[in-house]
Amino acid sequence: MLFQIFDAFKPRLHDSNSKVNQVALEAMHKMVPLLKDNLSPVINMLIPAIVDNNLNSKNPGIYAAATNVIQALCQHVDNSLLLQPFCTKAQFLSGKAKQDLTEKLA
């Protein structure tokens, strides 16, 4: 069930319409504290959707929303679940996104 929900939700996390994208990130920020470690089955799908484009966005609202989601994940999800997806993404990112994710890893 969780896969079906997030399979449908994931495209909104990098929607070409910036308002849709930002609202999806803000909704994700609210979901993380509620779902916590129950996100583990979908975390490998969510991290790239949250990080790709959003952490390097020139839109301050999208960047802030993505940063808030990453922060919420770090606070509410077991860090061992985040380590591998964060490392994998940090290897291939550039610019501010690479710096932000590397700081979270440290």
CATH number at residue 73: 1.25.10.10
Q: Count up the domains in the chain and report the number.
A: 1
1, pLDDT greater than 90: no
Mean of all residue pLDDT scores within the chain:
95
State which residues form the domain around 33: 1-103
pLDDT for 106 equals 84
Are the CB atoms for 90 and 98 separated by under 8 Å? yes
pLDDT digits (tens, 9 = 90+) for 84-103: 999 999 999 999 999 999 99
The packing angle between helices 43-51 and 18-35, to 10°, is: 140
